[in-house]
Amino acid sequence: MLSLLGSPAWASETSGPGEEPVQQRLLFRVVAPPGVVLDQATAMVERPDGRRIPVRLSDDGTEPGDLSWDGVYVGYSTGLFARYLPVELSVTFPGEARMVVHSGIERIEDASSAALTWRLVDLDGAWYARRTSSTSVGFEEPVNELVGLAASLSWALFLAAYISWLLVRRRADP
Amino acid sequence: MNRPWAQNGVTLALYAVIACAWTWPLITDPTGLSVSPQFDAYSLIWLLDEAPRLGWDMVSHGSAWPIGHGLVRVDSFLALAAAISLRGLVDPVLMASSMALLGPILSAWAAERFAAHSLSVAWPWSLIAGLCYGFSGLMATALLEGHYYAMVTPWLPLLAMATLLATGPRARPIHGVAMAVLWTLCLLTTAYCGLAASLLVLGLSVRAPRRLLRQPVLLAGGLMLVAGVGFTWLYLQGDGASGDTLSSAVTTSRILEAGSASVADLALVSPDAELIGHSISPVLGWTCLLLFLTAPLVLKNRPHTRTLVILAVVVLVISMGPVVEIAGHRLPWILAPLTRMDWASAFRFPVRLMPVAYLCMGSVAAAAASALAARAPLLAAPLLLATVVDCFLGVGLPARTARLPLDVPSAYRELPPQGGMLELLPYFTANDVDDALFMRNLACSYQRSHHKPLTHACLGTSVSDSPGRALNDYVIEVCLDDSDQQRVQLRKWLVAMGISHVSLRPLLFPSNDRDPLHGCLEELAGEPHATSSDGGEMVVIYELIEPMDWDASGDHALYHAVFMEFL
């Protein structure tokens, strides 16, 4: 999956002296809307050593942790610790040309591993990818929010019942 | 466990364990790790490193070179004073980490003491007050945003205690003095904490209007007036720019809304909290909230309870800002009139008043738990556990913390301290202000390694209209313009301004611009002086002039004059 496309001249001899480089594993995910199938999805990332690495994102269940054909395209990249990464996401719909749906600098919050997730959005025929929380994969966003809210309200209801019981007991106690 | 020292020992130990787990993995490497996914921890580290070098004029010559950067509008004078008084003896990263680790412990302990002392809440139920206040959603926000100094707020509960004493029947002048000192400490911690403290004092004082004209309160009022006027005077001496914001009703409304607590935020952390805005997550905590709601049923005739309940509700309402959204409907809220006033955009974060709500709710909740547990303590014991669960699951810590090493890229390590450093940063649009601040603050935090003055101003939320930014943009413009004549002139300008090095972080720039920028800088300065890809980013440094020993004071005036001419 990883391939070295080449480094610019100024990017050679760039590792820090006498130090073991920190390896960082990054998970890239693109969530397609229900019913939308992609021929190809690729994240082109640039590591701090100047390497441009195309990460192929697949949905056939071959990548660790990927459920096949669930609309979540997954790929991994491992390399030098990056505090931020230039990322260009491109997708290809069946029978259509490749289109870039996102290009920008992504901040990374973990030196050893992190997940970056985008959701494909159709804006009147123009597709773009929007960064989203990594925890909301696999659900439509409103559903995901409802799951969180339901869990929170369940906890609240449980506590309310318990406190009410304490209250009733207190009143019943002579 | 009835002995006070044992109770205090267990309280502190419990809060310390929770603080370590809450801020995990900070305790594993407090001198080399940041747990904040946002960008203000970097500017705090810069400030703590720079503070010992400040003179009485409060102008930093390590930032906004060669003009200098007045720091009288610094966020926390207390953090600044701590760094100045330690005179560089403590590593700035360790100092910042200590604030994040010790802040919640001290704040929680103070709130626990307030509940125990002022509301007569029995131990261990008083622990609930500390948990609700010291490990609140807003404290988590301060941790994640990197405002570690805002986590050190034991002053607020102690101020509440002093205010109740000063306005109580057995008030003494010392209570008034304590009140003024603690209010000033709040103000020096952050301006928002000072505002919150003012609301607290106001709310607690009005309950006893007849005692307001007695000596302790008058003494407190006089001292607070002096401190407040002094602070305001100092603040007005600073630069006017406080953000890349426009003054219009729409913008003011947008700013206030973004910095307010929404109904959803009070219930649970948004999964996207770290992606949008500033990790704002003022979750109330269900245990604390439900116990607070039972207070009218179980705390009849308990002194101060009614005042604290009203105060909590009032502050909560204010912190919800100008608009409340319920089930998709937007309703104008209490701060809506402010959106028609341009100056109100300066009051960016109404949510930061919420510590008062947490304190009042937490202490009332603790009193309610104590009342519920009066007859059957063991049956009520799970309330303590539930409050701890809320501290973690409710605010989402430590799952939301970052794990970022604070190593400085090796390219910076061997640079001589003489001569200024221009950190080239790309253009940012108004929508990318956070990215711009991240890049600038990160570059500023590296100064603790190379100690070279930077052309960018390292504090403040304005990134588009500073003199350093003008120079930065001019260099990029000339480099991308491909005009040899302009480049020769540019080199003369930079050298005349005393700038000895230019740093480029190529991956921040669009790929089409990188080679022209490198080519231009090589033309100005020759081959790169140092290059590295460790520390999480690629850095290429160019040396414009050989570092020289110069009379800083004499040359500095010349550099300043040249820079002003350039502007």
| Contact criterion met (CB < 8 Å) for A173 and B375 | yes
- What are the structure tokens assigned to A54, written together? 């195309």
pLDDT at residue B242 tops 90: no
Of A48, A107, A160, Cβ closest to residue B290: A160
d(CA B485, CA A94): 51
What is the nearest CA distance from A144 to chain B, expressed in angstroms? 9
The pLDDT value recorded for residue B224 is 96
> Percent of chain B having pLDDT more than 90?
60
The pLDDT value recorded for residue A128 is 93
Sign of CA dihedral A132, A138, A143, A145: negative
DSSP symbols for B383-413? HHHHHHHIIIIITTTTTT--BEE-PPPGGGT
SS3 category, A10: helix
Q: Which pLDDT tens digits describe chain A residue by residue (174 residues)?
A: 333 334 444 443 334 444 556 689 999 999 998 888 899 999 999 999 888 999 999 988 787 777 777 889 999 999 889 999 999 999 999 988 999 999 999 999 899 999 999 999 988 889 999 888 766 666 565 666 677 888 899 999 999 999 999 999 887 765
Sign of CA dihedral B234, B236, B238, B241: positive
Tell me the ipTM for this assembly.
0.84
| Contact criterion met (CB < 8 Å) for B536 and A86 | no
The pLDDT value recorded for residue B140 is 96
DSSP symbols for B421-455? EEEE-----GGGHHHHHHHHHHHHHTHHHH---BS
d(CA B214, CA B185): 23
| Contact criterion met (CB < 8 Å) for B371 and A170 | yes
The pLDDT value recorded for residue A35 is 86
| Contact criterion met (CB < 8 Å) for B507 and A11 | no
Mean pLDDT of B55-78: 88
> Where do we find the tokens 């390694």?
B449
The pLDDT value recorded for residue B463 is 67
Residue, of B418 and B27, whose pLDDT is higher: B27
This prediction has a pTM of 0.91
Pairing between β-strand A23-31 and β-strand A113-123 as defined by DSSP bridges: parallel
The pLDDT value recorded for residue A67 is 78
Mean pLDDT of B400-418: 91
Over chain B, what is the mean pLDDT? 89
pLDDT band of B328, cuts 50, 70, 90: confident
Residues of B in contact with A169 (CB under 8 A): 375-376, 379
Q: Are B313 and B292 in contact (CB under 8 A)?
A: no
Residue A103 has, within 13 A of its CA and on its CB side, a CA count of 8
Mean pLDDT of B233-245: 64
What residues form DSSP beta bridges with B540?
B504, B531
Mean pLDDT of B548-560: 59
The helix or strand, by DSSP H or E, that contains position B331, with its residue range, turns out to be strand B329-332
Summarised one tens digit per residue, pLDDT across range B83-120 is 999 987 999 999 999 999 999 999 999 999 999 999 99
SS3 category, B292: helix
The pLDDT value recorded for residue B367 is 97
The pLDDT value recorded for residue A141 is 59
The pLDDT value recorded for residue A18 is 47
| Contact criterion met (CB < 8 Å) for B402 and A109 | yes
The pLDDT value recorded for residue A135 is 62
Residue B108 has, within 13 A of its CA and on its CB side, a CA count of 29
Rg (CA), chain A: 22
Summarised one tens digit per residue, pLDDT across range B264-299 is 888 888 877 777 657 888 999 999 999 999 999 999
Which residues 85-144 of A are in CB contact (within 8 Å) with B? 85-86, 105, 107-112, 131-133, 135-136, 144
Torsion from C-alpha of B47, B49, B54, B59, nearest 10 degrees: -40
pLDDT band of B422, cuts 50, 70, 90: very high
